[in-house]
Protein backbone atom coordinates (compact mmCIF):
# COMPACT_ATOMS: atom_id res chain seq x y z
CA UNK A 1 0.00 0.00 0.00
CA UNK A 2 1.79 3.19 -1.13
CA UNK A 3 2.22 6.03 1.33
CA UNK A 4 0.86 9.18 -0.29
CA UNK A 5 1.47 12.76 0.76
CA UNK A 6 -1.08 15.52 0.30
CA UNK A 7 -0.33 19.21 0.90
CA UNK A 8 -2.75 21.84 2.15
CA UNK A 9 -2.27 25.57 2.47
CA UNK A 10 -2.33 27.41 5.76
CA UNK A 11 -5.71 28.52 6.99
CA UNK A 12 -5.62 31.85 8.75
CA UNK A 13 -6.95 31.93 12.29
CA UNK A 14 -9.63 34.49 12.91
CA UNK A 15 -10.02 33.69 16.61
CA UNK A 16 -8.42 31.78 19.44
CA UNK A 17 -8.94 28.59 17.41
CA UNK A 18 -6.99 27.84 14.29
CA UNK A 19 -5.41 24.88 12.52
CA UNK A 20 -3.60 24.23 9.28
CA UNK A 21 -3.82 20.69 7.90
CA UNK A 22 -0.40 20.53 6.26
CA UNK A 23 0.25 16.92 5.24
CA UNK A 24 -1.35 13.50 5.44
CA UNK A 25 -0.82 10.06 3.93
CA UNK A 26 -4.43 8.97 3.36
CA UNK A 27 -4.85 7.87 -0.27
CA UNK A 28 -8.06 8.42 -2.20
CA UNK A 29 -8.57 4.71 -2.76
CA UNK A 30 -8.28 1.78 -0.35
CA UNK A 31 -9.54 -1.82 -0.19
CA UNK A 32 -12.39 -2.58 2.18
CA UNK A 33 -11.74 -3.97 5.68
CA UNK A 34 -8.10 -2.88 5.79
CA UNK A 35 -6.55 -0.67 8.44
CA UNK A 36 -4.18 2.07 7.35
CA UNK A 37 -1.43 3.45 9.54
CA UNK A 38 -2.52 7.04 8.93
CA UNK A 39 -0.76 10.24 9.89
CA UNK A 40 -1.52 13.93 9.64
CA UNK A 41 0.68 16.97 10.22
CA UNK A 42 -1.09 19.88 11.91
CA UNK A 43 -0.06 23.42 12.79
CA UNK A 44 -1.66 25.42 15.58
CA UNK A 45 -2.53 28.70 13.82
CA UNK A 46 -4.73 30.01 16.62
CA UNK A 47 -3.99 31.84 19.84
CA UNK A 48 -4.73 29.03 22.31
CA UNK A 49 -2.58 26.14 23.44
CA UNK A 50 -3.73 22.63 22.54
CA UNK A 51 -3.35 20.58 25.74
CA UNK A 52 -3.19 16.81 25.97
CA UNK A 53 -4.28 16.96 29.62
CA UNK A 54 -6.50 19.53 31.30
CA UNK A 55 -7.78 19.64 34.92
CA UNK A 56 -11.34 20.17 33.65
CA UNK A 57 -11.07 17.71 30.77
CA UNK A 58 -10.74 20.41 28.11
CA UNK A 59 -8.09 18.64 26.07
CA UNK A 60 -7.79 18.97 22.30
CA UNK A 61 -8.37 15.78 20.29
CA UNK A 62 -8.51 14.80 16.63
CA UNK A 63 -11.93 13.40 15.70
CA UNK A 64 -12.31 11.19 12.61
CA UNK A 65 -15.79 10.89 11.10
CA UNK A 66 -17.04 8.91 8.12
CA UNK A 67 -20.24 10.02 6.38
CA UNK A 68 -20.91 12.26 9.42
CA UNK A 69 -20.64 9.35 11.88
CA UNK A 70 -17.82 9.68 14.42
CA UNK A 71 -15.46 6.73 14.04
CA UNK A 72 -12.65 7.48 16.45
CA UNK A 73 -11.05 10.10 18.67
CA UNK A 74 -7.25 10.37 18.86
CA UNK A 75 -5.14 12.20 21.43
CA UNK A 76 -2.20 14.49 20.84
CA UNK A 77 1.20 12.78 21.07
CA UNK A 78 2.67 15.36 23.45
CA UNK A 79 1.57 17.41 26.44
CA UNK A 80 0.90 20.68 24.64
CA UNK A 81 1.02 22.18 21.15
CA UNK A 82 1.47 25.93 21.40
CA UNK A 83 0.51 28.55 18.80
CA UNK A 84 2.81 28.28 15.78
CA UNK A 85 3.96 24.75 16.65
CA UNK A 86 3.42 21.65 14.52
CA UNK A 87 2.49 18.13 15.55
CA UNK A 88 2.08 14.82 13.71
CA UNK A 89 -0.72 12.54 14.89
CA UNK A 90 -0.46 8.86 13.92
CA UNK A 91 -3.62 6.76 14.12
CA UNK A 92 -5.12 3.53 12.74
CA UNK A 93 -7.71 4.34 10.06
CA UNK A 94 -10.25 1.56 9.71
CA UNK A 95 -11.59 1.31 6.16
CA UNK A 96 -15.32 0.47 5.80
CA UNK A 97 -16.21 -3.15 5.12
CA UNK A 98 -18.50 -2.29 2.20
CA UNK A 99 -17.27 -0.97 -1.14
CA UNK A 100 -18.43 2.48 -2.12
CA UNK A 101 -17.69 6.18 -1.93
CA UNK A 102 -17.24 7.74 1.52
CA UNK A 103 -16.63 11.17 2.97
CA UNK A 104 -13.94 11.37 5.65
CA UNK A 105 -13.79 14.36 7.96
CA UNK A 106 -10.89 15.14 10.30
CA UNK A 107 -11.74 17.79 12.85
CA UNK A 108 -10.20 19.13 16.06
CA UNK A 109 -12.29 19.27 19.21
CA UNK A 110 -11.70 21.01 22.52
CA UNK A 111 -13.46 18.46 24.67
CA UNK A 112 -16.37 19.82 26.65
CA UNK A 113 -16.06 23.22 24.95
CA UNK A 114 -16.28 23.37 21.16
CA UNK A 115 -15.48 21.89 17.80
CA UNK A 116 -13.04 23.97 15.85
CA UNK A 117 -15.57 23.73 13.01
CA UNK A 118 -18.06 25.63 15.17
CA UNK A 119 -15.46 28.42 15.45
CA UNK A 120 -15.37 28.86 11.65
CA UNK A 121 -12.30 26.63 11.29
CA UNK A 122 -13.24 24.15 8.53
CA UNK A 123 -12.33 20.48 9.05
CA UNK A 124 -10.29 18.54 6.55
CA UNK A 125 -12.73 16.67 4.32
CA UNK A 126 -11.55 13.86 2.04
CA UNK A 127 -13.27 11.58 -0.43
CA UNK A 128 -12.40 7.90 -0.05
CA UNK A 129 -13.19 5.31 -2.69
CA UNK A 130 -13.43 1.91 -1.02
CA UNK A 131 -12.85 -1.05 -3.34
CA UNK A 132 -14.00 -4.63 -2.71
CA UNK A 133 -11.81 -6.36 -0.17
CA UNK A 134 -8.96 -8.65 -1.09
CA UNK A 135 -9.12 -10.07 2.40
CA UNK A 136 -7.38 -12.70 4.51
CA UNK A 137 -8.45 -14.79 7.46
CA UNK A 138 -6.46 -12.57 9.84
CA UNK A 139 -8.20 -9.44 8.54
CA UNK A 140 -11.65 -11.04 8.86
CA UNK A 141 -10.87 -12.22 12.37
CA UNK A 142 -9.57 -8.82 13.40
CA UNK A 143 -12.67 -7.10 12.08
CA UNK A 144 -14.89 -9.40 14.13
CA UNK A 145 -12.67 -9.13 17.21
CA UNK A 146 -12.75 -5.34 17.03
CA UNK A 147 -16.53 -5.54 17.42
CA UNK A 148 -16.77 -8.28 20.03
CA UNK A 149 -13.49 -8.91 21.92
CA UNK A 150 -10.91 -6.18 21.29
CA UNK A 151 -8.91 -6.46 24.53
CA UNK A 152 -5.74 -8.11 23.26
CA UNK A 153 -2.09 -7.24 22.84
CA UNK A 154 -1.93 -6.02 19.24
CA UNK A 155 1.48 -4.54 18.46
CA UNK A 156 0.44 -3.92 14.83
CA UNK A 157 -2.75 -2.12 15.93
CA UNK A 158 -4.74 -4.08 13.35
CA UNK A 159 -2.54 -3.08 10.41
CA UNK A 160 -1.86 -6.14 8.29
CA UNK A 161 0.07 -4.98 5.24
CA UNK A 162 3.39 -3.16 5.26
CA UNK A 163 4.26 -0.69 2.53
CA UNK A 164 7.02 -3.03 1.33
CA UNK A 165 4.61 -5.96 0.96
CA UNK A 166 5.48 -7.79 4.14
CA UNK A 167 2.76 -8.56 6.66
CA UNK A 168 2.33 -7.80 10.34
CA UNK A 169 0.96 -10.54 12.63
CA UNK A 170 -2.58 -10.09 13.94
CA UNK A 171 -3.33 -13.60 15.23
CA UNK A 172 -1.34 -16.71 16.12
CA UNK A 173 -2.74 -20.08 15.06
CA UNK A 174 0.12 -22.49 15.71
CA UNK A 175 3.23 -22.64 17.89
CA UNK A 176 6.23 -24.90 18.40
CA UNK A 177 9.51 -24.31 20.25
CA UNK A 178 10.16 -20.58 20.05
CA UNK A 179 8.26 -20.09 16.78
CA UNK A 180 4.66 -19.12 16.08
CA UNK A 181 2.66 -19.01 12.85
CA UNK A 182 -0.20 -16.72 11.88
CA UNK A 183 -3.35 -18.00 10.08
CA UNK A 184 -1.73 -17.28 6.70
CA UNK A 185 1.27 -19.44 7.57
CA UNK A 186 3.96 -16.80 8.13
CA UNK A 187 6.49 -17.89 10.74
CA UNK A 188 7.78 -15.61 13.51
CA UNK A 189 10.44 -15.95 16.19
CA UNK A 190 8.76 -15.26 19.51
CA UNK A 191 10.26 -13.64 22.60
CA UNK A 192 6.98 -13.17 24.50
CA UNK A 193 6.73 -16.95 24.98
CA UNK A 194 3.21 -17.20 26.32
CA UNK A 195 3.82 -14.13 28.52
CA UNK A 196 6.65 -16.06 30.16
CA UNK A 197 4.75 -19.30 30.68
CA UNK A 198 6.53 -21.27 27.91
CA UNK A 199 9.98 -21.40 29.50
CA UNK A 200 10.51 -24.83 27.94
CA UNK A 201 9.22 -23.70 24.57
CA UNK A 202 5.78 -24.18 23.07
CA UNK A 203 4.40 -27.72 22.90
CA UNK A 204 7.29 -29.34 24.78
CA UNK A 205 6.74 -33.06 23.97
CA UNK A 206 7.03 -34.39 27.54
CA UNK A 207 4.62 -31.79 28.82
CA UNK A 208 2.17 -32.49 26.00
CA UNK A 209 2.27 -36.24 26.71
CA UNK A 210 1.56 -35.60 30.39
CA UNK A 211 -1.50 -33.56 29.50
CA UNK A 212 -2.84 -36.23 27.14
CA UNK A 213 -2.32 -38.96 29.74
CA UNK A 214 -4.25 -36.93 32.34
CA UNK A 215 -7.28 -36.70 30.05
CA UNK A 216 -8.62 -40.01 31.30
CA UNK A 217 -10.12 -37.83 34.02
CA UNK A 218 -12.22 -34.69 33.65
CA UNK A 219 -10.23 -31.50 34.25
CA UNK A 220 -12.20 -30.44 37.35
CA UNK A 221 -13.59 -32.89 39.90
CA UNK A 222 -15.18 -32.38 43.36
CA UNK A 223 -12.29 -33.79 45.42
CA UNK A 224 -8.56 -33.19 44.99
CA UNK A 225 -6.68 -35.28 42.43
CA UNK A 226 -3.47 -37.03 43.54
CA UNK A 227 -1.57 -34.77 41.13
CA UNK A 228 -2.21 -31.82 43.44
CA UNK A 229 -0.29 -33.56 46.23
CA UNK A 230 2.50 -34.64 43.90
CA UNK A 231 3.01 -31.18 42.46
CA UNK A 232 2.94 -29.61 45.92
CA UNK A 233 5.64 -32.06 47.02
CA UNK A 234 7.86 -31.09 44.09
CA UNK A 235 7.37 -27.36 44.79
CA UNK A 236 8.24 -27.84 48.47
CA UNK A 237 11.44 -29.59 47.38
CA UNK A 238 12.32 -26.80 44.91
CA UNK A 239 11.40 -23.56 46.75
CA UNK A 240 13.16 -22.93 50.10
CA UNK A 241 10.30 -21.11 51.87
CA UNK A 242 7.62 -23.56 50.70
CA UNK A 243 6.11 -25.84 53.35
CA UNK A 244 2.53 -25.66 52.08
CA UNK A 245 0.92 -24.61 48.78
CA UNK A 246 -2.41 -23.65 47.28
CA UNK A 247 -3.02 -23.24 43.56
CA UNK A 248 -4.58 -20.69 41.22
CA UNK A 249 -4.69 -19.94 37.52
CA UNK A 250 -3.01 -16.52 37.21
CA UNK A 251 -0.28 -14.67 39.02
CA UNK A 252 -2.91 -12.15 40.08
CA UNK A 253 -4.78 -14.92 41.92
CA UNK A 254 -1.88 -15.79 44.17
CA UNK A 255 -0.65 -12.22 44.67
CA UNK A 256 -4.13 -11.30 45.84
CA UNK A 257 -4.35 -14.17 48.31
CA UNK A 258 -0.81 -13.45 49.52
CA UNK A 259 -1.82 -9.88 50.36
CA UNK A 260 -4.94 -11.07 52.15
CA UNK A 261 -3.02 -13.75 54.02
CA UNK A 262 -0.43 -11.24 55.26
CA UNK A 263 -3.12 -8.85 56.44
CA UNK A 264 -5.03 -11.62 58.21
CA UNK A 265 -1.90 -13.03 59.86
CA UNK A 266 -0.56 -9.68 61.11
CA UNK A 267 -3.84 -7.88 61.68
CA UNK A 268 -2.34 -4.88 59.87
CA UNK A 269 -3.36 -3.15 56.62
CA UNK A 270 -0.29 -1.61 54.92
CA UNK A 271 1.81 -3.27 52.21
CA UNK A 272 5.01 -1.84 50.73
CA UNK A 273 5.75 -3.15 47.24
CA UNK A 274 8.16 -3.03 44.32
CA UNK A 275 7.30 -4.46 40.92
CA UNK A 276 4.19 -5.66 39.17
CA UNK A 277 1.73 -7.78 41.14
CA UNK A 278 -1.26 -8.29 38.87
CA UNK A 279 -4.64 -6.70 38.32
CA UNK A 280 -6.29 -7.38 41.69
CA UNK A 281 -8.04 -4.50 43.45
CA UNK A 282 -5.63 -4.57 46.37
CA UNK A 283 -2.69 -3.64 44.10
CA UNK A 284 -4.16 -1.50 41.33
CA UNK A 285 -5.76 0.91 43.81
CA UNK A 286 -2.46 2.81 43.85
CA UNK A 287 -3.09 3.81 40.20
CA UNK A 288 -6.28 5.67 41.11
CA UNK A 289 -9.98 5.36 40.39
CA UNK A 290 -9.91 6.91 36.91
CA UNK A 291 -7.38 4.37 35.64
CA UNK A 292 -8.78 1.26 37.32
CA UNK A 293 -12.36 1.70 38.51
CA UNK A 294 -11.17 0.78 42.01
CA UNK A 295 -12.23 3.43 44.55
CA UNK A 296 -9.41 5.39 46.12
CA UNK A 297 -8.96 5.36 49.87
CA UNK A 298 -8.55 8.56 51.89
CA UNK A 299 -5.46 6.88 53.36
CA UNK A 300 -3.66 4.59 50.87
CA UNK A 301 -2.83 1.11 52.08
CA UNK A 302 -0.09 0.27 49.59
CA UNK A 303 3.05 2.23 48.79
CA UNK A 304 5.71 1.65 46.10
CA UNK A 305 9.44 1.72 46.82
CA UNK A 306 12.22 1.75 44.23
CA UNK A 307 13.91 -1.60 43.66
CA UNK A 308 17.41 -1.98 45.14
CA UNK A 309 17.04 1.46 46.78
CA UNK A 310 17.33 0.91 50.51
CA UNK A 311 17.00 4.61 51.32
CA UNK A 312 13.69 4.81 49.48
CA UNK A 313 12.45 1.69 51.24
CA UNK A 314 13.57 2.97 54.63
CA UNK A 315 11.66 6.22 54.10
CA UNK A 316 8.40 4.29 53.67
CA UNK A 317 9.29 1.72 56.31
CA UNK A 318 9.82 4.40 58.96
CA UNK A 319 6.49 5.99 58.13
CA UNK A 320 4.45 2.76 58.19
CA UNK A 321 6.29 0.15 60.28
CA UNK A 322 3.67 0.10 63.06
CA UNK A 323 0.89 -0.77 60.60
CA UNK A 324 2.96 -2.86 58.18
CA UNK A 325 1.50 -6.21 57.14
CA UNK A 326 3.95 -7.15 54.41
CA UNK A 327 6.69 -6.16 52.01
CA UNK A 328 6.11 -7.66 48.55
CA UNK A 329 8.57 -7.41 45.69
CA UNK A 330 9.81 -8.98 42.51
CA UNK A 331 13.28 -9.89 43.78
CA UNK A 332 14.97 -9.57 40.38
CA UNK A 333 14.37 -7.78 37.10
CA UNK A 334 11.20 -5.75 37.76
CA UNK A 335 10.39 -3.54 34.77
CA UNK A 336 10.14 -0.21 36.55
CA UNK A 337 9.29 1.80 33.40
CA UNK A 338 9.57 1.60 29.59
CA UNK A 339 12.86 3.44 29.96
CA UNK A 340 14.25 1.03 32.53
CA UNK A 341 15.88 0.21 34.74
CA UNK A 342 15.60 -3.57 35.13
CA UNK A 343 18.07 -4.58 37.82
CA UNK A 344 19.18 -7.98 39.01
CA UNK A 345 18.80 -9.17 42.57
CA UNK A 346 21.03 -7.56 45.20
CA UNK A 347 21.47 -10.01 48.08
CA UNK A 348 22.45 -7.25 50.50
CA UNK A 349 19.31 -5.24 49.64
CA UNK A 350 17.12 -8.32 50.04
CA UNK A 351 18.77 -9.22 53.35
CA UNK A 352 18.19 -5.71 54.69
CA UNK A 353 14.53 -5.84 53.66
CA UNK A 354 14.11 -9.23 55.31
CA UNK A 355 15.65 -8.05 58.60
CA UNK A 356 13.66 -4.81 58.75
CA UNK A 357 10.40 -6.48 57.75
CA UNK A 358 10.67 -9.11 60.45
CA UNK A 359 11.77 -6.54 63.01
CA UNK A 360 8.47 -4.77 62.37
CA UNK A 361 6.52 -8.01 62.82
CA UNK A 362 5.53 -8.08 59.15
CA UNK A 363 5.90 -10.72 56.41
CA UNK A 364 8.30 -10.74 53.47
CA UNK A 365 6.66 -11.90 50.22
CA UNK A 366 8.58 -12.67 47.04
CA UNK A 367 6.70 -12.41 43.78
CA UNK A 368 8.73 -15.04 41.90
CA UNK A 369 6.11 -15.45 39.21
CA UNK A 370 8.67 -14.46 36.60
CA UNK A 371 11.89 -15.58 38.29
CA UNK A 372 10.64 -18.99 39.45
CA UNK A 373 12.51 -21.78 37.57
CA UNK A 374 14.26 -19.36 35.19
CA UNK A 375 16.63 -17.91 37.81
CA UNK A 376 19.88 -19.81 38.66
CA UNK A 377 19.05 -22.47 41.21
CA UNK A 378 15.37 -22.21 40.30
CA UNK A 379 14.57 -19.13 42.37
CA UNK A 380 16.07 -15.91 43.67
CA UNK A 381 15.65 -17.10 47.24
CA UNK A 382 17.76 -20.20 46.60
CA UNK A 383 20.37 -18.25 44.63
CA UNK A 384 20.80 -15.51 47.26
CA UNK A 385 20.03 -17.41 50.44
CA UNK A 386 17.61 -14.67 51.54
CA UNK A 387 14.42 -16.61 52.23
CA UNK A 388 11.01 -14.91 52.37
CA UNK A 389 8.01 -15.99 54.44
CA UNK A 390 5.70 -16.36 51.44
CA UNK A 391 6.18 -16.73 47.69
CA UNK A 392 3.98 -16.35 44.62
CA UNK A 393 4.76 -18.64 41.67
CA UNK A 394 3.35 -18.80 38.16
CA UNK A 395 4.39 -18.41 34.52
CA UNK A 396 6.81 -21.32 34.03
CA UNK A 397 5.25 -23.42 36.81
CA UNK A 398 2.67 -24.97 34.49
CA UNK A 399 5.02 -25.69 31.60
CA UNK A 400 2.88 -23.44 29.41
CA UNK A 401 -0.45 -24.36 30.99
CA UNK A 402 -2.36 -21.91 33.22
CA UNK A 403 -1.22 -22.55 36.79
CA UNK A 404 0.03 -20.47 39.70
CA UNK A 405 0.82 -21.28 43.32
CA UNK A 406 0.93 -19.47 46.64
CA UNK A 407 3.47 -21.12 48.94
CA UNK A 408 5.02 -20.40 52.29
CA UNK A 409 5.61 -21.25 55.92
CA UNK A 410 3.09 -23.70 57.32
CA UNK A 411 2.30 -21.78 60.51
CA UNK A 412 1.31 -18.72 58.47
CA UNK A 413 -0.89 -20.51 55.95
CA UNK A 414 -2.50 -22.74 58.60
CA UNK A 415 -3.53 -19.74 60.64
CA UNK A 416 -4.54 -17.32 57.89
CA UNK A 417 -5.78 -19.12 54.77
CA UNK A 418 -9.23 -20.04 56.09
CA UNK A 419 -9.94 -16.32 56.60
CA UNK A 420 -8.96 -15.18 53.09
CA UNK A 421 -12.19 -16.25 51.35
CA UNK A 422 -10.06 -17.85 48.61
CA UNK A 423 -11.85 -20.48 46.54
CA UNK A 424 -11.48 -20.29 42.73
CA UNK A 425 -13.24 -23.06 40.83
CA UNK A 426 -10.25 -24.06 38.70
CA UNK A 427 -7.48 -24.01 41.30
CA UNK A 428 -7.15 -27.82 41.17
CA UNK A 429 -7.56 -28.20 37.38
CA UNK A 430 -5.93 -31.50 36.54
CA UNK A 431 -4.43 -31.02 33.09
CA UNK A 432 -2.39 -28.03 34.25
CA UNK A 433 -1.21 -29.97 37.29
CA UNK A 434 -0.11 -32.81 35.01
CA UNK A 435 1.84 -30.34 32.88
CA UNK A 436 3.39 -28.83 36.01
CA UNK A 437 4.55 -32.24 37.26
CA UNK A 438 6.31 -32.88 33.96
CA UNK A 439 7.79 -29.38 33.84
CA UNK A 440 9.07 -29.55 37.41
CA UNK A 441 10.82 -32.83 36.61
CA UNK A 442 12.54 -31.16 33.65
CA UNK A 443 13.59 -28.13 35.72
CA UNK A 444 15.07 -30.50 38.28
CA UNK A 445 16.97 -32.72 35.82
CA UNK A 446 18.09 -30.29 33.11
CA UNK A 447 19.98 -26.97 33.23
CA UNK A 448 17.07 -24.88 31.96
CA UNK A 449 17.95 -21.68 33.80
CA UNK A 450 21.62 -22.03 32.83
CA UNK A 451 20.68 -22.22 29.15
CA UNK A 452 18.41 -19.19 29.43
CA UNK A 453 21.15 -17.16 31.07
CA UNK A 454 23.82 -18.17 28.57
CA UNK A 455 21.55 -17.37 25.65
CA UNK A 456 20.36 -14.13 27.25
CA UNK A 457 23.89 -12.92 27.88
CA UNK A 458 24.91 -13.64 24.28
CA UNK A 459 21.79 -11.91 22.99
CA UNK A 460 22.42 -8.85 25.14
CA UNK A 461 26.07 -8.65 24.13
CA UNK A 462 25.14 -8.99 20.45
CA UNK A 463 22.43 -6.34 20.53
CA UNK A 464 24.61 -3.91 22.45
CA UNK A 465 27.46 -4.44 19.98
CA UNK A 466 25.04 -3.58 17.17
CA UNK A 467 23.96 -0.41 18.98
CA UNK A 468 27.58 0.66 19.19
CA UNK A 469 28.37 -0.30 15.60
CA UNK A 470 25.34 1.51 14.16
CA UNK A 471 25.67 4.58 16.37
CA UNK A 472 22.34 4.09 18.16
CA UNK A 473 22.27 5.44 21.70
CA UNK A 474 20.49 2.44 23.20
CA UNK A 475 21.17 -0.71 25.19
CA UNK A 476 19.51 -4.03 25.91
CA UNK A 477 19.28 -4.03 29.69
CA UNK A 478 18.04 -6.32 32.43
CA UNK A 479 18.92 -9.77 33.77
CA UNK A 480 19.31 -12.37 30.99
CA UNK A 481 15.89 -13.93 31.63
CA UNK A 482 14.02 -10.66 30.94
CA UNK A 483 15.57 -7.84 28.94
CA UNK A 484 14.35 -4.74 27.15
CA UNK A 485 15.90 -2.32 24.68
CA UNK A 486 16.09 1.16 26.17
CA UNK A 487 16.94 4.25 24.11
CA UNK A 488 19.05 6.97 25.68
CA UNK A 489 16.69 9.72 24.56
CA UNK A 490 15.65 12.52 26.94
CA UNK A 491 12.81 13.81 24.76
CA UNK A 492 9.70 11.71 25.59
CA UNK A 493 8.15 12.07 22.15
CA UNK A 494 11.31 11.05 20.29
CA UNK A 495 11.80 8.24 22.77
CA UNK A 496 8.36 6.90 21.87
CA UNK A 497 8.99 7.28 18.15
CA UNK A 498 12.26 5.35 18.37
CA UNK A 499 10.67 2.54 20.38
CA UNK A 500 7.75 2.33 17.95
CA UNK A 501 9.91 2.26 14.83
CA UNK A 502 12.16 -0.39 16.35
CA UNK A 503 9.17 -2.54 17.27
CA UNK A 504 7.64 -2.06 13.83
CA UNK A 505 10.77 -3.19 12.01
CA UNK A 506 11.18 -6.25 14.23
CA UNK A 507 7.64 -7.32 13.39
CA UNK A 508 8.28 -6.84 9.68
CA UNK A 509 11.42 -8.96 10.01
CA UNK A 510 9.48 -11.77 11.68
CA UNK A 511 10.33 -11.14 15.35
CA UNK A 512 7.70 -10.72 18.09
CA UNK A 513 8.59 -8.99 21.37
CA UNK A 514 6.52 -7.29 24.03
CA UNK A 515 7.24 -3.65 23.20
CA UNK A 516 10.91 -4.60 22.88
CA UNK A 517 10.93 -6.86 25.96
CA UNK A 518 12.54 -10.26 25.33
CA UNK A 519 12.16 -13.49 27.35
CA UNK A 520 14.57 -16.22 26.20
CA UNK A 521 13.51 -19.84 26.64
CA UNK A 522 15.04 -23.30 26.46
CA UNK A 523 13.90 -23.45 22.82
CA UNK A 524 15.99 -20.46 21.68
CA UNK A 525 19.16 -21.81 20.08
CA UNK A 526 22.17 -20.64 18.07
CA UNK A 527 20.29 -20.48 14.78
CA UNK A 528 17.57 -18.38 16.40
CA UNK A 529 20.19 -16.08 17.92
CA UNK A 530 21.74 -15.47 14.49
CA UNK A 531 18.34 -14.72 12.95
CA UNK A 532 17.43 -12.47 15.88
CA UNK A 533 20.56 -10.37 15.58
CA UNK A 534 19.94 -10.02 11.84
CA UNK A 535 16.45 -8.67 12.51
CA UNK A 536 17.74 -6.34 15.23
CA UNK A 537 20.46 -5.03 12.91
CA UNK A 538 17.87 -4.05 10.30
CA UNK A 539 15.58 -2.42 12.87
CA UNK A 540 18.34 -0.45 14.57
CA UNK A 541 19.73 0.59 11.19
CA UNK A 542 16.43 2.22 10.24
CA UNK A 543 16.17 3.90 13.64
CA UNK A 544 19.66 5.33 13.12
CA UNK A 545 18.74 6.56 9.63
CA UNK A 546 15.52 8.21 10.83
CA UNK A 547 17.42 9.82 13.69
CA UNK A 548 20.06 11.25 11.33
CA UNK A 549 17.35 12.63 9.05
CA UNK A 550 15.30 13.94 11.97
CA UNK A 551 12.19 12.38 10.44
CA UNK A 552 10.63 9.33 12.11
CA UNK A 553 7.15 10.06 10.73
CA UNK A 554 8.31 9.21 7.24
CA UNK A 555 9.11 5.62 8.21
CA UNK A 556 6.39 4.85 10.75
CA UNK A 557 3.55 2.70 9.46
CA UNK A 558 2.21 1.69 12.87
CA UNK A 559 0.82 4.30 15.28
CA UNK A 560 3.34 4.94 18.08
CA UNK A 561 2.54 3.35 21.43
Task: Specify the CATH number for 6-135; select among 2.60.40.10, 2.160.10.10, 3.20.20.150, 2.60.40.770.
Answer: 2.60.40.770
| Complete DSSP assignment for 128-193 | EEEEPP---HHHHHHHHHHHH---S--TTTT--B-TTS-B------EEEBTEEE-TT--EEEESST
Tens of pLDDT along 490-532? 998 899 999 999 999 999 999 999 989 999 999 999 999 999 9
CA distance 552 to 542: 9
Tens of pLDDT along 54-74? 988 899 999 999 998 998 999
pLDDT, position 14? 53
CA distance 27 to 126: 9
- 81 φ, ψ (degrees, to nearest 5): -115, 115
Tens of pLDDT along 14-38? 578 999 999 999 999 999 988 999 9
Which residues, at least 6 apart from 358, have a Cβ–Cβ distance to it below 8 Å?
364
DSSP state, 277?
-
Mean pLDDT of 415-425: 96
SS3 105: strand
CA distance 187 to 193: 14
SS3 406: strand
Mean pLDDT of 335-352: 87
pLDDT, position 339? 66
CA distance 3 to 210: 51
pLDDT, position 338? 64
User: What does CATH list as the number for 205-445?
Assistant: 3.40.640.10
**5-9, 177-181, 185-189, 278-282: segment of lowest average pLDDT:** 5-9
pLDDT at 2 over 70: no
Tens of pLDDT along 120-147? 889 999 999 999 987 789 988 998 998 8
pLDDT, position 34? 87
| Bond preceding residue 473 cis, omega within 30 of 0 | no
Q: Per-domain residue ranges for the chain? A: 6-135, 138-200+448-549, 205-445
Domain 6-135 and domain 138-200+448-549, same fold? Reply is no
pTM confidence score: 0.92
Report the mean per-residue pLDDT for the chain: 94
User: What does CATH list as the number for 138-200+448-549?
Assistant: 3.90.1150.10
Which residues, at least 6 apart from 371, have a Cβ–Cβ distance to it below 8 Å?
330, 331, 332, 333, 379, 380, 481
Residue 185: Cβ-neighbour burial (10 angstroms; 0-12, 13-18, 19+): exposed
- 334 φ, ψ (degrees, to nearest 5): -65, 140
Tens of pLDDT along 390-402? 999 999 999 999 9
Mean pLDDT of 228-256: 98
Name the pLDDT band for 9 (thresholds 50, 70, 90). very low
Tens of pLDDT along 429-471? 999 999 999 999 999 999 999 999 999 999 999 999 999 999 9
Name the pLDDT band for 12 (thresholds 50, 70, 90). very low
In the chain, the percentage of residues whose pLDDT exceeds 90 is 87
Amino acid sequence: MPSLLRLFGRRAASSEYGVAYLEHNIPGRLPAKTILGARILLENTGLKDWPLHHPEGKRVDLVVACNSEVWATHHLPRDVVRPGERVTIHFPLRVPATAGRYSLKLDLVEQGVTRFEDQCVPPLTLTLQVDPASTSRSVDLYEEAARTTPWHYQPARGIRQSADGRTYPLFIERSSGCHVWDPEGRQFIDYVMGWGSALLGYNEPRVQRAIVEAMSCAPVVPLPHPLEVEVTRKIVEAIPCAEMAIFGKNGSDVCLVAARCARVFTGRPVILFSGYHGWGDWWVEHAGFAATGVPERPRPLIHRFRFNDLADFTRLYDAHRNELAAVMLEPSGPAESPGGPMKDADANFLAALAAMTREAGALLIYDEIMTGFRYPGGSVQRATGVIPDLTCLGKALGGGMPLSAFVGRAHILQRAMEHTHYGPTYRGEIYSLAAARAALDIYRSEPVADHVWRFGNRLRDGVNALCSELGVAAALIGPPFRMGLVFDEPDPQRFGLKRSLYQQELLKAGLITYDGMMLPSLAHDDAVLTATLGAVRGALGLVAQADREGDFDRYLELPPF
